[in-house]
Structure formats: structure tokens, C-alpha cells
Amino acid sequence: AQKVTQAQTEISVVEKEDVTLDCVYETRDTTYYLFWYKQPPSGELVFLIRRNSFDEQNEISGRYSWNFQKSTSSFNFTITASQVVDSAVYFCALSEPPNQGGKLIFGQGTELSVKP
Amino acid sequence: DAGITQSPRHKVTETGTPVTLRCHQTENHRYMYWYRQDPGHGLRLIHYSYGVKDTDKGEVSDGYSVSRSKTEDFLLTLESATSSQTSVYFCAISSNRESTEAFFGQGTRLTVV
């Protein structure tokens, strides 16, 4: 069965600190996709990144970076120099390929609080 | 922003009454999904659709039914609402093209009293 675990329920940091959100997944599929979504206090879900199982290159987008390691089934998310606006709930998700339906399995979410 | 609209955005209903939530898209995407969000559970899939009149159950489908008579509309019905169905409901859409991600609606907060 597919499963996503975000062991960190809540994280609190002070502005400008770096923070890493952990994500561990389980799947028997050889082709799959991993996602991170952000849910700010306003409640909408904002897509951050999608990574397929064949692409293990790390990715950096501004202050955000993602570390995908198939050997440990992990897809961790790091925010560098955190800001108050980064305060949100972050979800890691796993899906089957889009042409097979693309259904998402979500982790429980990590609530990040960045204090000034 | 992706063209996906949920209605209503908020609803309070009584136990035992039927409730229908609507998801409308303007992207002509093939796949549509209904998720519910509860504390400690993240989002869980209720039902999904591969196309018109083509639907299937997700992880937490008991007590829910869906219909998709048009590409753009995906309806979620609670036949007889219960307090355990108090939740935030999200609709999502995606294409079957490799390069797209799932787009989510704004969510519907449903309270069953």
C-alpha cells in the first residue's frame, strides 16, 4: 500500500533560521510522483513542486530546496532563511502516474510557524 | 490560477439531511477528485472521476456518492449527513499529460450539527 509519513506535526522557528521538513514515503510502484503543497492560513492549497521517480536531482527555487533520495524513500523540503510568510501547513504527497489516474496520497502535514 | 470553483464555500446542515457540493472547472481536464481534510489525517480521497459518467471510490467513500454528467462538473453528495462528515472538502483537477500537477479548489467548510 502507498503511504506518506510526515513525522513532524509542528515546527517553530525564528525568522532567518533554516528549517527542513521531512517526508518519507512507501510504494511498490516503480513509476510515481512526489509533491509538496503549501496551505497558508487562508486555507487554499498551493502547489510547490512535483518530482517523478526517475529524477533524483535536487532542486532549488529561491529559498526553497528539495532533496529526493530513493535509497531512503525520502523527499525532504528545506526553507533557507525562513520568513514569517512561510508560516503554513506543508503537505507532502505521493501519486501514481497521471495516465493512471494521478490520485494523491497525502501525509498528515507539518505546521510551520515562523516567529519574527 | 486554474479555473476551478467550489460551491458553496461554507455550509451548516443538520444531521440526516442530504447535502450536495459542486465542483466546476473551466480547464477541460479529464480527472477530477474529491478530498476531505481533517486534523491529523491530511487530505484523504473520497471519490474520483476519469471522465463523464466514469467514477470510482477512494479511501473514505462510505456515506458519499458522486456524479459527473458533464466534463466540467463533479458533484459530491452526502445522502444523509452525519457529524463525522464535518470537514473541509477540496475538489481537485488534473490532466493526463505528464507535465501537469493537480489544481485544487478553494475548499468547502461543511459543518453537520
Q: What is the mean pLDDT of residues A77-96?
A: 96
- Cβ distance A104 to B106 less than 8 Å, yes or no, reads no
Task: Give the pLDDT confidence score for residue A67 in this predicted structure.
Answer: 95
Name every chain A residue with its beta carbon within 8 A of the beta carbon of B100.
98
How far, in Å, are B25, B41, B83 from residue B36 at the CA level?
18, 9, 14
Q: What is the pLDDT of residue B94?
A: 87
What backbone torsions phi and psi does residue A100 show, to the nearest 5 degrees?
-110, 10
pLDDT at A58 over 80: yes
Predicted pLDDT of residue B108: 97
Q: For residues A104 and A93, is the Cβ–Cβ distance under 8 A?
A: yes
pLDDT value of position B2 = 65
Question: Which chain A residues in 1-60 lie under 8 Å from chain B, judged by CB atoms?
Answer: 4, 6, 35, 37, 43-45, 47, 50, 52
Rounded to the nearest angstrom, the minimum Cα separation between B56 and chain A is 11
> Using a CB-CB distance cutoff of 8 angstroms, which residues of chain A are in contact with residue B92?
104
pLDDT digits (tens, 9 = 90+) for A20-30: 999 999 999 88
